[in-house]
Amino acid sequence: MEVIFKNNTTLNESYVKQVARATVFKRPAVISLYVISALLLIISTCLLVINGKFIMIGFLFPIAIIAALFFLYFSTVKLNIRRLHEIGGFFEIVTEVTDDGICQIPDGKTAVNLPFQDVLCAVTSKDYIFVISKGKIVYAFSKNGFSIGDDASFLTFLKSKGIKVK
């Protein structure tokens, strides 16, 4: 099968931080918490201004959510950086995309294949495109790591395969 896209991605601290941001702050459940927190804050502020009643939960809930998310983010980053150091530092992953799916080869070791019907979605960040499988496994593509193709045409290709890009 012909290789349509080829990407080299180095897993380093920047990668770990951007994956953590995408998985901690941008999940649908967390976005729902943002909306609930904002509504509670607005309602509490209106009640304080109109009736002079102070509702503690309306102000504490958003602060607690933000604190919990930052704690989760920093602990996830610290844990994953420690894991990278334990396996011998940072390493490179070569990923090839064909019409059938994605083949990822970490540091020249055993290839991992992902057919497109097993892809859940793709999430973009500043430097990476994360393709997430139905098994919640993340396949990373560095936006400047394409040796065949580029990031914009790769995103267009994913959309043509019926994959939702966020």
* Spatial separation of the C-alpha atoms in residues 19 and 35, rounded to whole Å: 23
Enumerate residue ranges in the chain where pLDDT < 50: none
- pLDDT at residue number 62: 87
Residue 52 burial by CB count (10 A; 0-12/13-18/19+): exposed, middle or buried?
exposed
- pLDDT at residue number 120: 87
* 129 plus 161 within the same structural domain: yes
Q: Is 53 helix (H, G, I), strand (E, B) or coil?
A: coil
pLDDT digits (tens, 9 = 90+) for 137-160: 888 888 888 888 888 898 998 898
Count of alpha carbons within 13 angstroms of residue 75, beta-carbon side: 6
Of 70, 86, 102, which closes a domain? 86
Contact (Cβ atoms closer than 8 angstroms) between residue 107 and residue 11: no
pLDDT digits (tens, 9 = 90+) for 106-129: 766 677 788 888 888 888 888 888
Residue 138 sits at φ, ψ, to 5 deg, of -100, 125
Q: How many CB atoms lie within 10 A of CB 81?
A: 17
Range of the domain at 37: 18-86
Count of alpha carbons within 13 angstroms of residue 41, beta-carbon side: 13
Of 29, 64, 86, which closes a domain? 86
**Identity at 156, one-letter amino acid code:** T
Residue 50 burial by CB count (10 A; 0-12/13-18/19+): exposed, middle or buried?
exposed
* 97 plus 73 within the same structural domain: no
- pLDDT at residue number 84: 81
Q: Into how many domains does the chain fold?
A: 2
